[in-house]
Structure 1
Amino acid sequence: MSADYQTICAALYREARLLDDRQWDAWLECYAEDVAYWMPAWDDDDQLTEDPQSEISLMYYPDRCGLEDRVFRIKTERSGASTPEPRTNHSITNVEVLAEREAEVDVRYNFHTLSHRYKTTDQFFGTMFVTLRRTGDGFLISSKKIVLKNDYIRQVLDVYHV
C-alpha cells in the first residue's frame, strides 16, 4: 500500500506543533514504544558519529521510556535546563519519501527551530531521517535520527529544540 504524501506531512507537522504547544503527553503518543531517537555528534574530522552505543551523541534514547522520562522531568520542573520552558517555533521543509515497505515509510526532511528563552532567541537547523510505522489511519515514529548542522551550541539541547 502506497503512503499518502499528505498524511505523511500531516504526521510530521503534528509532532512539531505539539512540541511548540508544549502538549507533552500528546507528543509522546506520536512515538512507537520501540522508537530509537538519536542525534549523533560531529567528530573532529567533521564526520557524524555512527554508533550511539560506543560514540558520543548529542542525544540518544533507545526507546520511548527515555523520552517519557525526559517529558516527566520537563513537566515536573525537575530539569534546570528546561525551566522556564522556552517558546519554540518548528518549521519543516523539503519532505521527501526515501523508501516504502509494507509497514513503514522512510522520510527525510529539513527542520529549522527558533527557541526563545531569557530574552534570547536561538536557532537550530538540520536534517531529520524518520521512519514512520503505519497504524490504523496514521503513523507512529519508529526511528528518528536528527542531524543538527549548527556549529556552535551555547546551551544544553533538549527534545523541543529539534
Structure 2
Amino acid sequence: MTSTPPTTPTTPTTAPIGLAGIQAFLYRESRLLDDEQWDEWLACYHPDAAFWMPSWDDDDTLVTDPQREISLIYYPNRQGLEDRVFRIKTERSSATMPDTRTSHNISNVELERQEGSVCTVRFNWHTLSHRYKTNYSYFGMSRYVIDFAGEQAQILDKYVVLKNDYINQVIDIYHI
C-alpha cells in the first residue's frame, strides 16, 4: 500500500471575494500608511503595479495619458514607489521633513468587477494630515485592481482622483 502526501492547490481563487475581505485589505493598506510601516505597505503592491493620480486640466477635466500629460503622481510600477519610500525612510526627502501625521478614512466601497481572484474596487477616501502645526484635508476617489490569489492580496493597479481644488503643500503617496 502506498500513500500519497496531501497537496496544496495551486489554482487561483475563483470563489467570490466578499466585501468584508476587500474592506479589510483597504483598511490595512491605509493603516500601514498611517503607521508608516513602509515595507509592509509596499508588500501590498505587485511588482508591476501602476500607481496613477492624474491632474485636472484647465477645463476641469482629468488628464488621460500619464506618458504625455502632467500627473500629480505617476509610477508605472512598484519600483517608483520603492524609490519614494527609500527617500522617506532615509530622510532624503525634504517634502517629508518634518514627518507628516495622517489619518485615512475609507467609505462607499464597491466591488465593480471580479474575474477569478482579481477584483476591481472603487471607493471614496478622506485623509486628514498634520504638519507644521496645521491640519490639511484631502479627499477623492480611488479605483484599485487587486489580486486576492496567493498568500497576500496585491494591488495590480491604483488609480486615484484627488478632488481638492486647491493644494497648499506637496502631495505625496501617504496623503492618498
Category of TM-score, reference length = shorter chain: over 0.9
Does 2:24 correspond to 1:10? yes
Match of 1:115 in 2: 129
Per the normalisation by structure 1, the TM-score is 0.98
| Identical aligned residues as a percent | 57
Does 2:59 correspond to 1:45? yes
Per the normalisation by structure 2, the TM-score is 0.90
Contact kept, 8 Å, 1:11 with 1:138, in 2: the verdict is no
After TM superposition, the structure 1 stretch with the greater mean CA deviation from structure 2, 62-71 or 131-140, is 131-140
Aligned partner of 1:92 among 97, 106, 112: 106
Does 2:156 correspond to 1:156? no
Aligned partner of 1:72 among 47, 62, 86: 86
Does 2:47 correspond to 1:33? yes
Cα distance, 1:138 vs. partner?
A: 4.4
Question: What runs of 5+ residues in structure 1 fail to find an aligned partner?
Answer: none
Partner SS, residue 82 of structure 2: helix
Partner SS, residue 150 of structure 2: coil
Aligned partner of 2:117 among 86, 99, 103: 103
Structure exhibiting the larger radius of gyration computed from Cα positions: 2
Question: What runs of 5+ residues in structure 2 fail to find an aligned partner?
Answer: 1-14
Aligned partner of 1:81 among 54, 78, 95: 95
Q: How many residues matched?
A: 162
Q: What is the aligned-residue RMSD (CA, Å)?
A: 0.8
